[in-house]
A and B are shown apart, each in its own frame.
Chain A
């Protein structure tokens, strides 16, 4: 079984002309976990991954796999498997021949070709020209290329794009199995909901800069807590909150108070003699926390609540 290796980005920056696509990004990705690399379209995810793979030269900074730059890896396909967004196939070549070309370049035995075609469920279509493939089949062929060298590190750019529900379910199980075998799995997406069922850690970037890194659970605690409170006599409740100096806004189902915990609000109401009909912590969705982060822009470097590399035990 191949061993995972640590992926490390340190102060990596890429500028295209006057546009800064990736700005001083540093983070590590640990083996044995699925790490989601998230951010809106155009945030710089693909550029970052292409710099890791030696396809795009960084303006400054380094990206390494197990401490080695991709270009210096002695056996790249056997170390890192990558599936990038663009469909990179010659339409006139069969799937089997497509893989054979790169197996030849990497010095891999021909038996690997059938093995990976089987693994992604394309055994029956290996002799077919790729030009006739559906989007889902192309995604699977991209994945077959990724697995060709049985690498310990997997880098997948938007692998769920274009997959049908069955394919999405399959890839989730696949990512989990790969991480459980001890491999390093880095998977990018512009939608948190697409990957939240399969990732352990998240790295979130917006406009080329890091806005959050930590465990998936850390995202939830990210948003400022709010307490939903309601009373048959809302006017009295509002007055009591105002008197206690607690900020609040009026929502559809009650008042949303900015307070760290519900007990404080209950105490304020008790002192003012106001009857409560509802009192609970508002549960903010992961997606909302994610959106708040990426819309907040790249100026919140300080709010790391965890560390993707350290991680918290689940």
Chain B
């Protein structure tokens, strides 16, 4: 075995020997299952007529047209769940600084760039695993509820399976963005605050605000969350566009490249500012 493949093995062992990953996976599953189940019941209920539009309170003409419901519900896996792989990546990296495990890590393998590369690969795979768990919640629960209302969950459509595959990819890249953030901001508390504030508050606001003019809309497409939604191909966000017009998103592969660029930029800069510095 080369030292690089050993380093990757060690990074997997680090994740597997602590409880963080499955705690995050469990919380994420519950969160997405609840939202996907609840919203698909609401929308499928309206669409199938089981729930009267008047009961929703906005009147029949005020309801947004959500096109096809299943992809929207399925995309919750990444559009809502992406914060979890970011957290996993950031915690895995900042934990090394916090618990001073960089010392034994660099003693066992002094090639630091290789260690960071190994961590990125391990977290990419773990992000994909979280992606699968998230899809079990959004597709599993969502399809069940949609089917229960007599609507087609579109599970036979190749487009649905393309969305599922691209969701796994998006979640994997999000975990490596977390690694990049962790080396960029090695303080664990600061990192967590940034992840939560940015994903839950700052970016949604920016994306919403950017929709008001065409120029800012073009810029808004390059925000990481928007790029991720473009990669996956469906988003709850397009529903919220002012005037009900779905914003033009990037192509899925463009979104993927933009997301990847964020991961690489954060990791490379983080390597410079923290990873290769003195361990004291």
A interface residues (Cβ-Cβ under 8 A, vs B): 46-47, 50, 53-57, 70-71, 73, 76-77, 80, 82, 84, 86-94, 97-98, 100-102, 104-107, 145
Contacts and interface: CB of A to CB of B under 8 A. Distances in A.
B279 A76 contact: no
A71 B13 contact: no
Interface in B85-113: 95, 99-111
A74 to B, nearest CB: 9
Interface in B1-21: 1, 3, 6-7, 9-10, 13-14, 17-20
Given A80-B107, A92-B18, A101-B104, 16 more contacts: A46-B280, A53-B107, A55-B103, A55-B107, A76-B110, A77-B107, A86-B100, A90-B14, A90-B95, A90-B99, A93-B18, A102-B107, A105-B6, A106-B6, A107-B6, A145-B104
A104 B107 contact: no
A56 B6 contact: no
Contact of B278 (A55, A86, A87, A91): A55
Q: Which 10 A-B pairs have the closest CB atoms?
A: A105-B10, A97-B17, A105-B108, A55-B279, A88-B100, A56-B278, A102-B108, A104-B10, A71-B110, A88-B103
Contacts of B280: 46-47, 50, 55-56
16 contacts: A54-B110, A55-B106, A76-B107, A76-B109, A82-B107, A84-B103, A88-B101, A88-B103, A89-B101, A91-B99, A100-B17, A101-B14, A102-B105, A105-B6, A105-B108, A107-B3
Contact of A100 (B3, B13, B105, B278): B13
A116 to B, nearest CB: 13
Interface residues of B, number: 29
B19 A92 contact: yes
A127 to B, nearest CB: 12
Nearest to B277: A57
Contacts of B17: 93-94, 97-98, 100-101
Contacts of B13: 97, 100-101, 104
Contacts of A46: 280
B279 A105 contact: no
Given A50-B278, A55-B278, A101 B10 contact: yes
A109 B142 CA distance: 46
A76 B100 contact: no
Contacts of B109: 76, 105-106
